Amino acid sequence: MNEQNYFLNESEVSALRAFNANPTMKDAVKKVLLDNIYGQDVMKAGIAADPLHSRALVIVQESFKEDNQVIGQRLRAFAEAVSLLEHGFNNLDKFTKVEKPEKKQNNAR
């Protein structure tokens, strides 16, 4: 275990390696976790458009009585949270199965 993962035990690291080795599962989990962030601003076939489902618009609507500076601060915090979540999810790529190279016998000895 390296210093970046000091908060994980070996069992957790092993589980993350197994998770990361399954790209289908990784993509599915990412979709579920990020759906409320990414999915809300996307128009989908067969579903009526509802602009109030955009998280950015919800922030503005909830802040209607606040001044623009406060609304901007909340939107910036939301954008930063999205960025941090995406960065954290991308850190899963660091957990790959470590293959130990086979030792080749030196026949010259």
Q: How does pLDDT run across 16-67, given as a tens digit for each residue?
A: 999 989 989 988 888 787 776 766 656 667 776 666 667 777 788 888 889 9
Give yes or no for a contact between 59 and 71, defined as CB atoms under 8 angstroms apart.
Answer: yes
Neighbouring CB atoms inside 10 A of 95's CB total 19
What is the number of structural domains in the chain?
Answer: 1
Closest alpha carbon to 36 in 54, 51, 24? 54
CA 51 to chain centre: 24
Residue 109 resides in a domain: no
Residue 101 resides in a domain: no
Reported as a single tens digit per residue, the pLDDT across 56-108 is 777 888 888 899 999 999 889 988 888 888 888 888 888 887 677 777 777 77
Residue 105 resides in a domain: no
Q: Which 3-state string (H, E, C) describes the chain?
A: CCHHHCCCCHHHHHHHHHHHCCHHHHHHHHHHHHHHHHHHHCCCCCCCCCHHHCHHHHHHHHCCCCCHHHHHHHHHHHHHHHHHHHHHHHHHHHCCCCCCCCCCCCCCC
Domain of 44 in residue numbering reads as 6-94
pLDDT of residue 19: 92
Residue 46 resides in a domain: yes
* Residue 64, both tokens: 């209607």
Residue 44 resides in a domain: yes
Residue 38 resides in a domain: yes
Residue 32 resides in a domain: yes
